[in-house]
Amino acid sequence: MRRATDEGRDTRALEALESNVRIYSRVFPAIFSRARGSIMLTECGRKIIDFFSGAGALNYGHNNHEIKAAIVEYLDSDAVVHGLDMATTAKLEFLKAFDSIILQERDLQYRLQFTGPTGANAIEAALKLSRKVTGRKNVISFTRGYHGMSLGAIAASANHFYRVGSGVSLSGATFMPYDGYLGPDVDTAEYLRNMLLDKSSGVDCPAAILVETVQGEGGINVASKEWLRSIQAVAKDTGALFIVDDIQMGCGRTGEFFSFEFAGLSPDIVVMSKSLSGYGLPLSMLLVKEELDAWQPGEHTGTFRSNNLALVSATAAINIYWRDQTFSQGVHRTGELMRSRLEIIASEHGNGFSVRGRGMALGFDCQTAEIAEATTRKAFEKGLMIERCGPDDQVVKFLPALTIDHEILDQGLKIFDESLAETRKSGWRYNA
Ligand SMILES: *Cc1c(COP(=O)(O)O)cnc(C)c1O
């Protein structure tokens, strides 16, 4: 096993060789070597509980052995790994499993479009298709929304730091207030409706309305069922496509496979990525209503679409976890457990702390960036990996694997509680 001094030397090598843009190696300063389920191991043997799950790309945990078995078997048989978007056995099996286990069970009908491997690639495809279908240019997106780092996706994302960093003038999106943005008494869906139905409101007719049902990066802001239904109705009434970005909140994160099921929505396009492959392999796709599948063959393309290894793990994940309700019910139960524990922590500490979220996507609002930052830093020192989100990074974001063992969940929550207590104690001393 390597010692801490080796790790220090390796960290310096990393700092010298890797671009300054690196971020998570700063937030979580360690060199990770192995991982399984909800535990990551560092080179010098430290165990870290993972409440971050690769920003939601590891809903079924690290190196899930049941899913891994399918990949290993596939590799071992010299089956096709890369085949552009050619028809392969792996693709056919994924299409059939996704259609029967996920779509038909929910009375949904979609064509599947495989895009480039990242979430941003899929967002670009969704926006491009909306513009093509409607002949319109503008897109409605929401305050605090996040959709990725390519220019079209940043244009529809609210974060100031990322927008400025793009270095060009971003166009093609109009921002509207998300649910609750103007306080509990303002129905921002009604506001959007008025703006879009008024031809002289100054907002160009949109090709699409792009929404997250829970804003993951934006601070775990939760949209209500009623609000989401109203937004869908506004899209319909104004001839815009209704797009749900389910990249982070999909694949079971909120309890059901799709984060919009609870509201009974029927989006025109659903964007999927992150946990879709089930194994942290890059795989992204759009679900597109058949009548909107207006592409010419090859009109939107890319080298790495529907990577077969990722399709094999995606098929395994669907088969293992989504054939019946058991897994989904477990996510709801674990989510409620986490929420009640976090609510107790919030009320014990007072200080205006609050908890929000759905399913196993929960946010602990620390009110100030300083408390959230110090708490997550202390938590990492104590062996818990947890990230922050929100406009000022003031919200601690709980995204454990949906498969997490309750004992490990408990240990992680305890570390969070202790870290918060220590942060508050030291802050109190500084103020005194
Ligand atoms: C992560 C994320 C994206 C972007 O995905 P990348 O793979 O990082 O390009 C888009 N939308 C949401 C909601 C996300 O969480």
Do residues 311 and 390 share a domain?
no
Distance 216 CA to ligand 1 centre (A): 9
Distance 252 CA to ligand 1 centre (A): 16
Beta strands 241-245 and 354-358, pairing class: unpaired
Return the residue matching tokens 């063959």: 297
Do residues 363 and 240 share a domain?
no
* Mean per-residue pLDDT, 23-42: 96
- Number of structural domains the chain divides into: 2
pTM for this model (two decimals): 0.97
Residues 286-330 pLDDT 10s: 999 999 999 999 999 999 999 999 999 999 999 999 999 999 999
The C-alpha torsion from 404 through 405 and 411 to 417, rounded to 10°, is 50
Return d(Cα 228, Cα 240) in angstroms, integer. 15
Distance 113 CA to ligand 1 centre (A): 17
Q: Which of 267, 302, 321 is the last residue of a domain?
A: 321
Q: What's the CATH code of the domain at 251?
A: 3.40.640.10
Q: Is pLDDT above 50 for 229?
A: yes
Q: What's the CATH code of the domain at 26?
A: 3.90.1150.10
pLDDT at res. 428? 47
Q: Which of 58, 151, 274, 284 to mutate to test the pocket of ligand 1 (most atoms within 8 A of CB)?
A: 274
* 36 beta partners: 39
Do residues 315 and 336 share a domain?
no
DSSP state of 138: E
Do residues 184 and 156 share a domain?
yes
Residues near 386 by beta carbon (within 8 Å), at least 6 away in sequence: 51, 52, 376, 379, 380, 396, 397, 398, 412, 416
Confirm whether 374 is domain-assigned. yes
Q: Which of 287, 321, 355 is the last residue of a domain?
A: 321
Confirm whether 430 is domain-assigned. no
Residues 88-124 pLDDT 10s: 999 999 999 999 999 999 999 999 999 999 999 999 9
Phi, psi of 310 (to 5 degrees): -65, -35
Q: Is pLDDT above 70 for 1?
A: no
Confirm whether 431 is domain-assigned. no
Do residues 240 and 361 share a domain?
no
Mean per-residue pLDDT over the chain, rounded: 96
pLDDT at res. 432? 30
Do residues 33 and 79 share a domain?
no
Q: Count of CB atoms within 10 A of residue 57's CB?
A: 23
pLDDT at res. 430? 40
The pLDDT-based confidence of 427 (bands split at 50, 70, 90) is confident
Q: Is pLDDT above 50 for 200?
A: yes
Pocket of ligand 1 (CB under 6 A): 55, 118-120, 123, 146-148, 212, 216-217, 245, 247-248, 273-274
Distance 263 CA to ligand 1 centre (A): 22
Residues near 58 by beta carbon (within 8 Å), at least 6 away in sequence: 50, 275, 280, 401
First vs last C-alpha separation in the chain: 44
Phi-psi region of 216 (alpha: psi -120 to 50; beta: other; left: phi over 0): alpha
Asked if 266 and 168 touch (Cβ cutoff 8 Å), the reply is no
The pLDDT-based confidence of 429 (bands split at 50, 70, 90) is very low
Return d(Cα 216, Cα 288) in angstroms, integer. 23
Do residues 44 and 70 share a domain?
no
Domain with 158, as residue range(s), is 66-321
* Mean per-residue pLDDT, 70-90: 97
